[in-house]
Amino acid sequence: MNTKQIIASIVGALILFIWQFLSWSMLPIHQDEYGYTPNQDKILEVLNQSNLEDGTYMLPNVPPGTSQEEAHKQGEQGIGKPWASVSYYKSFEMNMGMNMTRGLLIDILSIFLLIWILGKMGSLNMQTTIMTCISISLIGYLTIPYLHSIWFGEKTLGYLIDAIVPWALVGIWLGWYLNRK
- Compute the CA torsion angle 21, 22, 26, 29 (nearest 10 deg): -110
Task: Give yes or no for residue 166 having a pLDDT over 80.
Answer: yes
Residue 71 makes CB contacts below 8 A (sequence gap 6+) with 62
Ramachandran assignment for 55, one of left (phi > 0), alpha (psi -120 to 50 degrees), beta (any other): left
Kindly state the average pLDDT of the residues 89-102. Answer: 90
Tell me what pLDDT residue 34 has. 84
**Is residue 85 helix, strand or coil?**
strand
Tell me what pLDDT residue 49 has. 93
Tell me what pLDDT residue 26 has. 92
What ranges in the chain are assigned the alpha helix state H?
Answer: 3-21, 40-49, 68-77, 96-119, 126-141, 147-152, 157-177
Tell me what pLDDT residue 95 has. 86
Tell me what pLDDT residue 5 has. 93
How many Å apart are CA 91 and CA 70, to the nearest integer?
Answer: 35
Tell me what pLDDT residue 176 has. 96
Tell me what pLDDT residue 181 has. 72
- Domain coordinates of the chain in residue numbers? 3-37+95-177
Calculate the average pLDDT of the chain: 93
Tell me what pLDDT residue 33 has. 85
Q: How confident is the model at residue 175 (pLDDT cuts 50, 70, 90)?
A: very high
Task: Give yes or no for residue 123 having a pLDDT over 90.
Answer: no
Kindly state the average pLDDT of the residues 67-95. Answer: 91
Tell me what pLDDT residue 180 has. 82
* Chain segment 7-54, per-residue pLDDT in tens: 999 999 999 999 999 999 999 899 888 889 999 999 999 999 998 999
- Integer angstrom CA distances of residue 111 from 28, 30, 174: 25, 23, 10
Q: How confident is the model at residue 117 (pLDDT cuts 50, 70, 90)?
A: very high
Closest by Cα among 56, 61, 59, 50 to 83 = 59
How many Å apart are CA 155 and CA 35, to the nearest integer?
Answer: 11
Buried residues in 27-57 as b, exposed as e (16+ CB within 10 A): eebbeeeeeeeeeeeeeeeeeeeeeeeeeee
Task: Give yes or no for residue 1 having a pLDDT over 90.
Answer: no
CA atoms within 13 A on the CB side of 141: 19
